Structure 1
Amino acid sequence: MTSTATPTPFTTTASPMDANDPPPTLRPYDHFLLHFADSRQIFAQAIPKSRHKSPSCKTYPPCKINKRTYATHNLIGLPYGTVLEVTRDGLLPLPEGQDLLPDEEQVREALLGVTSLDGDAATTTHQSEMITASQDSTLHITPNDNRNIHDTNTSQTLTQQQVTSLLSTGTDGCQIVAALISNSSTFASKTAFSQAKYLKRKQMKYMPRCRIVRVTPESLCSAMHAKDSRRICNLRSDTLGYILSSANVSAGQRVLVMDTAVQGILSAAVTRRMGGYGSVLALFEGQQPSYLEVVQRMNLNVMERQSLKWVGMGEVFGSEEEKRRQVEVLRDESGNILDVEKRDREGIQWPCPLMSHTRNYLLNEVKEERKIKEFLDKRCSRFARKLTRLSMLELREFVASCKERDENGNSVDSAVDTTMENDSTTNSIPRGIKPNGNSGTTNPIRQCDSIIIATKYDPTITILRLLPYLAPSCPFVIFHEFLEPLLETFRTLQNYGTQGDNSDPSMPMMCRRNIAINLRLTDTWFREYQVLEGRTHPNMTMSQNGGYLLMGTKLCPKTGTNEMDPETVRMLRAKMGPTRRPKKGGKEKGGEKKDGSGGNDKRKSGGEDDAKQEAKKAKTSS
């Protein structure tokens, strides 16, 4: 039964674009992705035409495709989703409505004008009719089959030298595909499915097309996973979305991210989702972050870049002795700590006026308006970074304000590293306040709202060292490529505080408090399907694993108990009396009513009965 009702068109009214919304078109210096029909994904950047490599060089910064370089200055201003055709002259935008695979009508038209090498025009016409029939032969059985086709490498009469000569002379890719079909001795005897596969394969090779795609956390993760999944520990886009949802990442939060194993994808994704509202503390190892290029590909705006704060691992995992040694170097002759970076930043005037020598250089030596604009743009970016970048001392104070403190105001150390000494001069302060030795002000303590970990280090030690920076009742997520390390972490967090085993000298004294609840160890199942009429099946060349996740919620370190200890239960029972279930008819055991009359006497009698029972048990045991 078929329905004759026609669906009403869906119309939307255009709304003014918000300032934080990504632009609909490609801007200068924006990073973007090129998606090809053969599932290739290439990163590129839209660089204007005025950016020469050198005054004598006439080429521009390229985009490399198939061992050839292409300029991207002509792509600026194009909307995302535009299909480009890769030609000898460059990347040419196609009209709206074109797809990555060319229309087969073009191949049929070109095939009718091409004859095989033996001059048999009837064969060419028959092959064109076979291509036409292959579009409508998705369900019915065709008389052709592949039983008599043998791979002897002699079915194609067109040699490689002839194909190369066609490419060198600038022959259209559609004509090359038509020539390959007309000179194939087995194309007419193939099934419709085989012909469609053959045509698609030749179109992707000799008629390459690509689509401009915006760089988002999902597309960034998919492109890096397709290029080399081992470099990002098999992190898939579905796992990335699961991590962001489980960590409850939203605007206005303070998130601690340690993603040294996934090339900074998590830091970029968290920063993009928060939209510049809040703070992202991204831990890195070494002198500087090694994955800044990945973050730059996200095209973050000024607010988003300012919310991302890079923190060295030494600020979290380093010893206090090393931190004090770094601070002592900054003391001046009078003994005060001098923050040089902050002093220079406060001395900058905005907008920054040009000095006399800079003005003379631009007017007398540069002179060209284009080069003057480039010089001023670089100068503006340099001063903007100085104004928004925190100094080492300010960043250290910001990180210290995220750490949990005890009742005396001392910072809570890690549960694993028991050799770290606390600095009494900086930790003995009122609870909730961190002094600022440079400005004389105070920073209120605010712990992180979530923690995301993706590292190749031991996840157990890492999460125990980072838990003091997480606020109670807030989630944490740990990603790892393998299951076994997370199993050990799961058991440690589950049994922490419930055992009294202190045989391991590396582990601290266990207490009754639990540190995490709602622990979940999961993995995601993701499979891509080919959905065609009569040919629906899963993709046979997919990765089997996208990593494992350990999620949980931190408990308050002072009241974080899953159940009351026996001493507390006995104290409450002695104070409140035993619980009595009411009998049917509205009366309790012993004739007491529901309205509470005689309740005090009942509690007393209940307490006396318990005392008699305990005395009787003691007498029996003796």
Structure 2
Amino acid sequence: MEPPSTCNDDDIINDGVDKYFYMGKQKINISSLIGQKFGSTFQLTSDKNLKLVNVFDFCNTTTKDGLNSQEANEQKDNRFIKDDNRSQKLTRNDIEKIKKEISGEEIIKTLVENSSTFEEKNKFSQQKYLVKKKQKYLNLFTVFKPSIKLLMEMYFAKGPSKNNFLRVDTLSQMLTLCNVMAGGNYMVVDSNLGILSAGLMERTAGKGSIVQIFNETIPNGSYRQAVYALNYPESVVSESLLSLSLNDVYELSLEENGSTCETMPTGVQKDSRQMLTKREMRLQEVTRAKSLLRHRDMHGLLLLTKDYDPSSMIHILLQFLGLSRPFVIFSHSIDPLKECYIQLKGKCLFLRISETWLRKYQVLEGRTRPEMTMNSSSGFVLSGIKAEI
């Protein structure tokens, strides 16, 4: 896949010189990625380097190597093929040996030549066989630009509990229900790797203010892991993403409405940032977050429950939400949201508890079906609008 003649700097991979990463048990040198466009596909060579390939030509070549003409396959079916694990003439030891000597496409060609049933399969079965072998023996890697969708799919694939069973379609519903847009000011309670904060950062494009509220005395080391994975410039993250403890928020709730606090001008912060210690920078961040909340006119609130009961903090957080502004709470189980619903009933408008459910379909030429295995539910969402009643 050849990169276009012109492209933006944001679409070019600029990190990874003389660095390695592990994909499963394979150690891969990623220095060859420098200067390549995101979305390019690479093949892993025997010396652990990545070689740029044209994925369309590559797949067409490896597919045609093992297929007969379409006319010959039209008359074939699989009814007389006996699956007794004896169709492959090569033993496991033979395959392991040739894996060290020849490339992946040559391995597949060798397996096809030594299969006693490949020629008897119809065209669809032959393609399915080749695709399966490609996944096993062809080490192709496509490098994508980091996005919240890719992060959500990665975390969910590692284990749904890693992000509290929050699925990417549920996250999109939460951002939509909270009317997240660039230039807004939002509160987020997120104890799962900062996945909600990362979603807000991507939706606002770093243009706005996000106050990340944590329930501990100090934030844990992974509270912004997903945000940093998006590779935003440090200056963008420091200017738009702030953090504050729930204890500080509670102290603010005891103050009179409308009180304000002046902070250091943004330009001064940028000029002197290099000279500040980590503690001073943290104090400035807390001051800026408090000043933002004191106006009590935040544009939205997103809350993801994990180790705490949302009903115990929702009344405190709603004090800093502007009138007619939305809030959204996610929970893997419905019980915590029922308690919140009862407490907020009569105080907020358009309260609703909904269950998120998504069914994926495989759409191919001549055959469309739902996926055979899927998650029945991603959890439950409580949404509403703050009102003065």
**Which bin holds the TM-score, normalised by the shorter protein?**
0.7 to 0.9
Pairing 1:538–2:370 present:
yes
Structure 1 pair 401–150 and aligned structure 2 pair: CA distance change class (3 A): closer
Q: Residue type matched to 2:35 in 1? A: G
CA RMSD of aligned residues (A): 3.2
- The one of 328, 353, 357 equivalent to 1:525 is 357
| Counterpart residue number, 2:104 | 173
| Counterpart residue number, 1:305 | 238
- The one of 298, 301, 314 equivalent to 1:448 is 298
Matches within 5 A, 1:334-345: none
**Partner of 2:94: helix, strand, or coil?**
helix
Pairing 1:287–2:218 present:
yes
Pairing 1:399–2:290 present:
yes
> Which whole-Å CA distance do the structure 1 matches of 2:7 and 2:83 have between them?
61
CA drift of 1:486 comes to 1.4
**Partner of 1:103: helix, strand, or coil?**
helix
The answer (yes or no) to whether the contact 2:22–2:28 under 8 Å persists in 1 is: yes
| Counterpart residue number, 1:125 | none
**Partner of 1:469: helix, strand, or coil?**
coil
| Counterpart residue number, 1:613 | none
> Which whole-Å CA distance do the structure 2 matches of 1:349 and 1:265 have between them?
27
The C-alpha deviation readout for 1:548-592, integer Å capped at 9, x for no partner, is: 111101112xxx1xxxxxxxxxxxxxxxxxxxxxxxxxxxxxxxx
Pairing 1:25–2:12 present:
yes
Matches within 5 A, 1:453-464: 453-456=303-306, 457-464=308-315
Structure 1 pair 79–393 and aligned structure 2 pair: CA distance change class (3 A): closer
Q: Residue type matched to 1:296 in 2? A: Y
> Which whole-Å CA distance do the structure 2 matches of 1:74 and 1:250 have between them?
37
**Partner of 1:188: helix, strand, or coil?**
helix
- The one of 139, 148, 162 equivalent to 1:231 is 162
CA drift of 1:183 comes to 1.3
| Counterpart residue number, 2:259 | none
| Counterpart residue number, 1:103 | 59
> Which whole-Å CA distance do the structure 1 matches of 2:337 and 2:323 have between them?
22
| Counterpart residue number, 2:258 | none
The answer (yes or no) to whether the contact 2:243–2:285 under 8 Å persists in 1 is: no
> Which whole-Å CA distance do the structure 1 matches of 2:281 and 2:176 have between them?
29
| Counterpart residue number, 1:146 | 79
> Which whole-Å CA distance do the structure 1 matches of 2:291 and 2:64 have between them?
70
> Which whole-Å CA distance do the structure 2 matches of 1:394 and 1:531 have between them?
49
- Higher-Rg member (1/2): 1
- The one of 178, 188, 206 equivalent to 1:276 is 206
**Partner of 1:266: helix, strand, or coil?**
helix
Q: Residue type matched to 1:167 in 2? A: K
| Counterpart residue number, 1:93 | 52
Structure 1 pair 77–483 and aligned structure 2 pair: CA distance change class (3 A): same
- The one of 336, 342, 354 equivalent to 1:491 is 342
**Partner of 1:154: helix, strand, or coil?**
coil
| Counterpart residue number, 2:26 | 68
CA drift of 1:475 comes to 0.6
> Which whole-Å CA distance do the structure 2 matches of 1:209 and 1:349 have between them?
43
| Counterpart residue number, 1:583 | none
The C-alpha deviation readout for 1:339-368, integer Å capped at 9, x for no partner, is: xxx9xxx8x9958xxxxxxxxxxxxxxxxx
The answer for unaligned runs of 5 or more in structure 1 is 1-13, 29-46, 50-60, 112-127, 322-341, 352-381, 404-444, 495-513, 561-622
| Counterpart residue number, 2:96 | 164
**Partner of 1:256: helix, strand, or coil?**
strand
CA drift of 1:264 comes to 0.8
The answer (yes or no) to whether the contact 1:225–1:232 under 8 Å persists in 2 is: yes
CA drift of 1:280 comes to 0.7
> Which whole-Å CA distance do the structure 1 matches of 2:328 and 2:165 have between them?
17
Flag the structure with higher helix content.
2
The answer for unaligned runs of 5 or more in structure 2 is 255-263
Which of structures 1 and 2 has the larger relative contact order (alpha carbons within 8 angstroms, sep 6+)? 2
> Which whole-Å CA distance do the structure 2 matches of 1:212 and 1:349 have between them?
33
| Counterpart residue number, 2:196 | 266
Matches within 5 A, 1:398-437: 398-399=289-290, 402-403=293-294
Matches within 5 A, 1:341-360: 350=271
Q: Residue type matched to 1:488 in 2? A: E
The answer (yes or no) to whether the contact 1:524–1:546 under 8 Å persists in 2 is: yes
> Which whole-Å CA distance do the structure 2 matches of 1:545 and 1:278 have between them?
32
Pairing 1:48–2:17 present:
yes
What percentage of aligned pairs have identical amino acids? 29
Q: Which TM-score applies when normalising by structure 2?
A: 0.84
The answer (yes or no) to whether the contact 2:244–2:289 under 8 Å persists in 1 is: no
**Partner of 2:218: helix, strand, or coil?**
coil
The C-alpha deviation readout for 1:156-213, integer Å capped at 9, x for no partner, is: 11011111111222x0211111111111222223333222211110011111212111
The answer (yes or no) to whether the contact 2:252–2:290 under 8 Å persists in 1 is: no
CA drift of 1:225 comes to 1.4
Q: Residue type matched to 2:247 in 1? A: G
Q: Residue type matched to 1:164 in 2? A: E
The C-alpha deviation readout for 1:290-332, integer Å capped at 9, x for no partner, is: 32332211111222432101212332357999xxxxxxxxxxx
> Which whole-Å CA distance do the structure 2 matches of 1:216 and 1:402 have between them?
29
CA drift of 1:70 comes to 1.0
The total of aligned residue pairs comes to 369
Q: Residue type matched to 1:26 in 2? A: I
**Partner of 2:213: helix, strand, or coil?**
strand
Pairing 1:203–2:134 present:
yes
Q: Residue type matched to 1:473 in 2? A: S
Q: Residue type matched to 2:355 in 1? A: D
Flag the structure with higher strand content.
2
